[in-house]
Chain A
Amino acid sequence: MIRSGLWLLAALLLGGIVHLATILVLPRLASQDAYARVSAIAPVNVVTPLPPPTPENALLPFMDPAFATSVCRYDLARGSLKFSVPIGQAYTSVSFYTRGDVAYYAINDRAAGRRVIELDLMTNAQRADLPENEDVTRADRLIVTSPTTMGLIVIRALTPETGWIPAARAALAAARCRLQ
């Protein structure tokens, strides 16, 4: 009796470990996560517009249909990235996701404070390698450090009414992300 009780206790403990391990490993194994879905249509280090979500077809679940969306799937292995987007008339935001779909940084047009959102994206190592004499702390130079070498920049422009869609698309079409 005691013996089977001990077996049961061991089983439950092991079950707890299996549970935690699967939860932790699942993001790495998910083959249909957002990064994988975006990778199917977006080349590396180029701004690509995402098709607007419709009931029949949506690249990602829970996309906001009131926004025009573009992505830049980045790979910083060959150097840091320069990113810029002119801000739209209503609301523009730029969100950064790691290879594992973690939103590690986001900025909107008001926080940027200018007619264009401009920033440098680099890994921690690339940031540490920046020359000392370069004025890295200049107030208007925004540096974002990515925790992973690869990831996603998602640029979104709000279309408060349907008539705004062309203007929002045009603003996103002028977005650039390129290696420097």
Chain B
Amino acid sequence: MRLLFGAMFALAIAAAVGLGTTWLALTRGMAYGGITIGAWTAWPRNGTAGIDPYARAMVARRGELPVGSGDGVAFYARTDDADKPLDGRCDVLVSGITPQARFWTLTLYDLDGRLVANSLRRQGFTSQEIIRQSDGSFDIVVGPRVRPGNWLPTGGVERYQLVLRLYDTPIGMATRTGSEAPMPAIKKGACQ
């Protein structure tokens, strides 16, 4: 009787621990081998056959296709440089320069990877569309209200993420630091 009870107890704990940790790993977005530069993180290995099992499970669950490593690399930011979550009701200034790449795109998604509706029908910028300063750097205001210059509307959503994709770039698995890959700064401004 005690043996049976013990076995049932152990199996219940095992199921709870096993499934619980799997759920946590998949929803919290834990993945190995990320490159973090400022608020931005990329997982270049996810675009290769060497993708780790956790990332594979996450990719399958979300139903996305990762950017192939011969194509480019995607950097994700869910927070600003001060580690505060990006809030669509506030102005956020994305400024600076990007790592070497033939083209790049900056896109705004909600946390599930869907585009966010707004009156301007603008979901992002490409490197060709951006207005730059004379030194090649740029300022993009991500916020709910109309702004002159590079304005990326948030549609007023509470939480969002920015994805900066570099195409045809030397940035990849060998990249380690921000000096090799200068990513734009993300600073929070006034809120509505």
- The 8 A CB mask of B104-130 against A (1 = contact, 0 = none) is 010101001111110000011011110
CB-defined contacts of A68 to chain B, threshold 8 Å: none
Interface residues of B in 152-192 (CB under 8 A from A): 163, 165, 167-168
SS of B interface (majority) = mixed
- The 8 A CB mask of B58-94 against A (1 = contact, 0 = none) is 0111111111111110100000000000000000000
User: Is A104 a contact of B49 with CB atoms below 8 Å?
Assistant: yes
How many of chain B's residues have a CB under 8 angstroms from any CB in A? 63
B14 proximal to A (CB < 8 A): yes
Tell me the nearest residue of chain A to B109, going by C-beta.
Answer: A62
User: Is B63 a contact of A60 with CB atoms below 8 Å?
Assistant: yes
User: Is B60 a contact of A30 with CB atoms below 8 Å?
Assistant: yes
Q: How far, in angstroms, from A64 to B165 measured CA to CA in the complex?
A: 9
Tell me the nearest residue of chain A to B54, going by C-beta.
Answer: A23
B21 proximal to A (CB < 8 A): yes
Query: Which of A33, A62, A160 is close to B128, meaning CB atoms less than 8 Å apart?
Result: A160
Tell me the nearest residue of chain A to B167, going by C-beta.
Answer: A91
User: Is B102 a contact of A110 with CB atoms below 8 Å?
Assistant: yes
Q: How far, in angstroms, from A161 to B12 measured CA to CA in the complex?
A: 56
Query: Which of A8, A12, A91, A103 is close to B47, meaning CB atoms less than 8 Å apart?
Result: A103
Tell me the nearest residue of chain A to B161, going by C-beta.
Answer: A62
Knowing A19-B21, A19-B22 touch, does A101 contact B65 (C-beta < 8 A)? yes
Residue picked from B10, B12, B15, most chain A C-beta under 10 Å: B10
User: Is A32 a contact of B54 with CB atoms below 8 Å?
Assistant: no
User: Is A62 a contact of B163 with CB atoms below 8 Å?
Assistant: yes
CB-defined contacts of A22 to chain B, threshold 8 Å: 18-19, 22
- The 8 A CB mask of A51-75 against B (1 = contact, 0 = none) is 0011110101110111000000000
User: Is B18 a contact of A15 with CB atoms below 8 Å?
Assistant: yes
CB-defined contacts of A15 to chain B, threshold 8 Å: 13-18, 21
- The 8 A CB mask of B1-41 against A (1 = contact, 0 = none) is 01000110111111111110110011000000000000000
Question: How many contacts A-B (CB < 8 Å)?
Answer: 195
Knowing A8-B10, A10-B10, A27-B57 touch, does A61 contact B66 (C-beta < 8 A)? no
- The 8 A CB mask of A80-94 against B (1 = contact, 0 = none) is 000000000011010
30 inter-chain pairs at a CB distance below 8 angstroms, sorted by A residue, are A7-B7, A8-B10, A11-B9, A15-B13, A19-B18, A22-B19, A23-B25, A30-B60, A33-B59, A33-B61, A55-B115, A55-B123, A60-B64, A61-B62, A62-B74, A62-B113, A64-B105, A65-B107, A95-B71, A101-B59, A101-B60, A101-B65, A102-B49, A104-B49, A105-B70, A106-B68, A106-B69, A108-B167, A110-B102, A158-B103
Chain A residues within CB distance 8 Å of chain B: 3-4, 7-8, 10-19, 21-24, 26-27, 30, 32-34, 36-37, 53-56, 58, 60-62, 64-66, 90-91, 93, 95-97, 100-108, 110-111, 147, 152, 154, 156, 158-161
